[in-house]
Structure 1
């Protein structure tokens, strides 16, 4: 990997994580509010994750992986949207499994488990987003 490519990847990863912090804030606030109002924690996770996911798609497609997306056709954008939904569905499944394992089997507090699970899924999400979701013509998306 060239020095320029490495620099672009680092900038892209930083941007992805800034967007991720916003997504996580939306997710955590929604999750905490729903738990506070008495929602079942796995249902709260689905709703909260969905709110963060919408924020993620809008911001990552616009800022993090934007260079390749501005020139994409509507068909390619639709494909990207479908990949985004599929990938986030997979991540939601991983999240739910880990939350259940950490709370029901290990006895951790729901919010502590949420912090741990979030840490695990950040790296998975960046990798999948970069390599599969926000790609065009089978090429990796570059940062702008």
Structure 2
């Protein structure tokens, strides 16, 4: 990997994690509030995750994996495909999160918040890898010259 490629990857990873910190804050705030308010913890997780997911899509598509101001905008079909991949990937991550939350809470007897912390650490790396390699691939259809 060239120095420039490594630098770009590092900047993407840092930006992804800064966006992720905000997503996590939104997710944790919502989750904590909903559990405190008496919402079943798995339902609270779905709602809280959805709030963080919306923030994640907007900020990561624009700042982390975006092409920059001087590049052409994605076509509507490309935006749609990215949106679908984002929803599918986050649905998979939500499933993993729910299974792990239930395992740590129900089977291992940890509190909901401790379980949430552990699961968050586990899913950060998975999320970056899938977002970079599949969701925000930046692949554009080839067009022929006229």
- Structure 1 stretches of 4+ with a deviation exceeding 4 A read none
Higher relative contact order (CA 8 A, sep 6+): 1
- How many residues are matched? 139
Largest Rg, 1 or 2: 2
Return the offset for 1:137: 2.4
Return the offset for 1:100: 0.2
List alignment gaps of at least 5 residues for structure 2: 142-146
1:121 aligns with 2:119: no
Instruction: From the superposition, tell whether residues 116 and 75 of structure 1 become closer, same or farther in structure 2 (CA, over 3 Å).
Output: same
Return the offset for 1:70: 5.1
Q: Give the structure-1-normalised TM-score.
A: 0.93
For 2:83 and 2:35, the matched residues in 1 are separated by 30
> Is contact 2:16-2:64 (8 Å) kept?
yes
Q: Give the structure-2-normalised TM-score.
A: 0.92
1:19 aligns with 2:19: yes
Point out the more displaced range, 130-139 or 29-38.
130-139
RMSD: 1.5
List alignment gaps of at least 5 residues for structure 1: 140-144
> Is contact 1:76-1:136 (8 Å) kept?
no
Instruction: From the superposition, tell whether residues 65 and 45 of structure 1 become closer, same or farther in structure 2 (CA, over 3 Å).
Output: same
Return the offset for 1:135: 1.3
